[in-house]
């Protein structure tokens, strides 16, 4: 049986992680996978997470199953964090999922059950696992223009022109904040135009929000998501806790389905629970419980928010330092976009050959589409990267 398997294409982000690990150079710099690193290159456990885990070890009295949708308190806390009061609570169905990827996967399966002929529209570019999962599920997929390689901003006219091809019932996958891989984001006014076009076409939004708190702040980063949700009877939101709580390996995420009314919500909730049961039964609980503990305890929450703010400001400072350094070295404002981008990533907008040259000559690892992880830098490595970019002639 197993001999009939075909070999699968490697995920380019995970392949890069392995290549970096295998590189013997001691001065190598990892700007690949989207994992936060502090100035010493460590991915710390956040203080509030440590404390919530300590309490859990001391107080938890059972490891019996939760519900198929996970702990309802987690659903309520995450609904509040992401959606706030943008939608009535009785319209939101929610299931805990293994990470943001699990939420995306469940969202796509729900779409396939409800609207098997719908085309899912993805930004070009997007996180590579989006098209990979859609293809695996055998769903229809289309792309909309997103990135302008010349300005390194959003090609908004191109995006609107492509979305004009939406058919009723099609699904548009939008990044809630901190677009991965480009770092270029829509303004609220631009999103209002996208929403109006989608409403006119009868399209449904699927929002992937994996970096809330890494761009302009916890609340600011959720505004676009809330704006979208207000505009539709139905929307799907896949949220990840991997990055903003730093609990990557705990696989903590949530899928929320906003329904037209409470009856439709009950139907969606039942289908989401069914999907969890088919795929993995009960979702992981540890990370979700940590998140719930933090979000519902005012002191822990304040400490988490403060540490997240430090993380965010650290990334903004690195962005500014890199843009300044490149401005100095090139005597031009060509790289100012790095300071304007938001989140963990910026796309340099150069060729895979140039990316390979940076790896071969300088041990600098970034994804072949020239996405770099700002959090992989520190004050000492920023000038090294800037010099390498200039030397390579990017
Ligand atoms: C990334 O884009 O690097 C992260 O979301 C990690 C991943 O799973 O790809």
Please write the tens of the pLDDT for every residue from 50-93. 999 999 999 999 999 999 999 999 999 999 999 999 999 999 99
| Ligand 1 in reach of 20 Cβ (< 6 A) | no
Ligand 1 centroid vs 33 CA: distance in angstroms? 6
pLDDT single digits (tens) 262-305: 999 999 999 999 999 999 999 999 999 999 999 999 999 999 99
Q: Which two tokens stand for residue 95?
A: 């299931």
Q: How confident is the model over 41-49, as a mean pLDDT?
A: 95
pLDDT for 250 beyond 90: yes
Q: By C-alpha distance, which of 46, 41, 30, 32 is closest to 241?
A: 46
* 12 assigned to active site: no
User: 52, 107, 127, 155: which one is catalytic?
Assistant: 127
* 210 assigned to active site: yes
Long-range CB pairs of 141-145, under 8 A, 24+ apart, other chains included:
142/170, 144/172
Q: How confident is the model over 14-34, as a mean pLDDT?
A: 94
State residue 12's pLDDT score: 87
Please report the atom of ligand 1 found closest to the CA of residue 242.
5
Does domain 11-44+301-392 sit in CATH 3.90.1150.10?
A: yes
pLDDT band at 228 (very low <50, low <70, confident <90, very high): very high
User: 170, 243, 259, 285: which one is catalytic?
Assistant: 243
Q: Which two tokens stand for residue 299?
A: 């002191």
Domain boundaries, given as residue ranges, for the chain: 11-44+301-392, 65-296
**What region does 169 belong to: left with phi over 0, alpha with psi -120 to 50, or beta?**
left
| Ligand 1 in reach of 13 Cβ (< 6 A) | yes
| Ligand 1 in reach of 33 Cβ (< 6 A) | yes
Say how far apart CA 328 and CA 309 lie, in whole Å. Answer: 28
State residue 147's pLDDT score: 97
State residue 234's pLDDT score: 98
Q: Crossing angle, helix 286-296 and helix 72-83, to 10 degrees?
A: 60
- In this structure, the residue with its CA closest to atom 2 of ligand 1 is 34
Q: Answer positive or negative: Cα dihedral of 342, 348, 352, 353.
A: negative
Report the residue among 127, 130, 253, 344 best suited for mutation to probe ligand 1: largest number of ligand atoms under 8 A from its CB: 127
Q: By C-alpha distance, which of 209, 131, 202, 213 is closest to 174?
A: 209
- In this structure, the residue with its CA closest to atom 5 of ligand 1 is 34
The fold of the 65-296 domain, in CATH, is 3.40.640
Angstrom distances, CA of residue 83 to CA of 27, 250, 299, 351:
43, 23, 22, 38
Q: Count how many Cα atoms sit within 13 Å of the Cα of residue 343 in the half-sphere of its side chain.
A: 25
Contact 154, 184 (CB under 8 A): yes
Strand partners for 144: 123
- In eight-state DSSP terms, residue 280 is T
* 196 assigned to active site: no
pLDDT single digits (tens) 149-169: 999 999 999 999 999 999 999
pLDDT for 369 beyond 90: yes
Q: Which two tokens stand for residue 52?
A: 């919530």
Contact 394, 355 (CB under 8 A): no
Please report the atom of ligand 1 found closest to the CA of residue 373.
3
Percent of the chain beyond pLDDT 90? 97
Q: Count how many Cα atoms sit within 13 Å of the Cα of residue 18 in the half-sphere of its side chain.
A: 6
Say how far apart CA 345 and CA 185 lie, in whole Å. Answer: 11
pLDDT single digits (tens) 301-342: 999 999 999 999 999 999 999 999 999 999 999 999 999 999
pLDDT for 39 beyond 90: no
Contact 34, 345 (CB under 8 A): yes
* 140 assigned to active site: no
Q: 3-class DSSP state for residue 140?
A: strand
Please report the atom of ligand 1 found closest to the CA of residue 32.
3
pLDDT single digits (tens) 101-133: 999 999 999 999 999 999 999 999 999 999 999
Q: Which two tokens stand for residue 379?
A: 């004050």
| Ligand 1 in reach of 180 Cβ (< 6 A) | yes
Say how far apart CA 17 and CA 270 lie, in whole Å. Answer: 38
State residue 11's pLDDT score: 86
Q: 3-class DSSP state for residue 255?
A: strand
State residue 148's pLDDT score: 96
- Tell me the residue ranges of DSSP E strands in the chain: 29-30, 92-97, 119-124, 140-145, 147-148, 153-154, 171-175, 204-209, 235-240, 253-258, 345-347, 364-365, 371-373
Angstrom distances, CA of residue 228 to CA of 21, 182, 188:
40, 21, 10
pLDDT for 10 beyond 90: no
Report the greatest alpha carbon distance in the chain.
Answer: 63
| Ligand 1 in reach of 214 Cβ (< 6 A) | no
Q: How confident is the model over 177-205, as a mean pLDDT?
A: 98
Q: How confident is the model over 347-357, as a mean pLDDT?
A: 95
């Amino acid at each position: 049986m197993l001999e009939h398997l075909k070999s699968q294409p490697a995920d380019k982000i995970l392949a890069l992680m392995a290549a970096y690990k295998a590189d013997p150079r001691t001065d190598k710099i990892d700007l690949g996978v989207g994992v936060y690193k502090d100035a010493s290159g460590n991915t710390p456990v956040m203080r509030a997470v440590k404390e919530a885990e300590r309490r859990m070890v001391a107080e938890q009295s059972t490891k019996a199953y939760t519900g198929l949708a996970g702990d309802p308190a987690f659903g309520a806390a995450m609904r509040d964090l992401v959606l706030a009061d943008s939608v009535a609570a009785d319209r939101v169905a929610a299931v805990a999922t293994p990470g943001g990827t699990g939420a995306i996967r469940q969202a796509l399966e729900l779409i396939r059950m409800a609207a098997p002929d719908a085309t899912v529209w993805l930004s070009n570019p997007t996180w590579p696992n989006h098209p990979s999962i859609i293809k695996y599920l055998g769903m229809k997929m289309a792309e909309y223009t997103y990135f302008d390689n010349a300005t390194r901003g959003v090609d908004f006219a191109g995006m609107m022109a492509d979305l004009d091809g939406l058919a009723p019932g099609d699904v548009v996958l939008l990044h809630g904040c901190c677009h991965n891989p480009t770092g270029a984001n829509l303004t609220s006014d631009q999103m209002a135009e996208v929403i109006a076009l989608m409403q006119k076409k009868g399209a449904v939004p699927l929002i992937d929000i994996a970096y809330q708190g890494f761009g302009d702040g916890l609340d600011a980063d959720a505004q676009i998501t809330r704006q979208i949700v207000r505009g539709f009877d139905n929307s799907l939101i896949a949220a990840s806790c991997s990055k903003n709580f730093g609990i990557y390996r705990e696989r903590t995420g949530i899928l929320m389905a906003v329904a037209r009314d409470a009856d439709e919500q009950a139907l969606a909730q039942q289908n989401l629970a069914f999907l969890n049961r088919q795929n993995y039964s009960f979702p992981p609980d540890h990370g979700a419980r940590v998140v719930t503990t933090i979000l519902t305890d005012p002191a822990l929450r304040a400490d988490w928010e403060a540490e997240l703010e430090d993380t965010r400001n650290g990334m903004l400072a690195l962005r500014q330092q890199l843009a300044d350094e490149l401005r100095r070295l090139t005597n031009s404002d060509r790289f100012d976009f790095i300071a304007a981008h938001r989140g963990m990533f910026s796309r340099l907008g150069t060729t895979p050959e140039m990316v390979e040259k940076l790896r071969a000559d300088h041990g600098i690892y970034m994804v072949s589409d020239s996405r770099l992880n700002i959090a992989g830098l520190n004050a000492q490595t920023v000038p090294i990267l800037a010099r390498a970019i200039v030397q390579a002639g990017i």
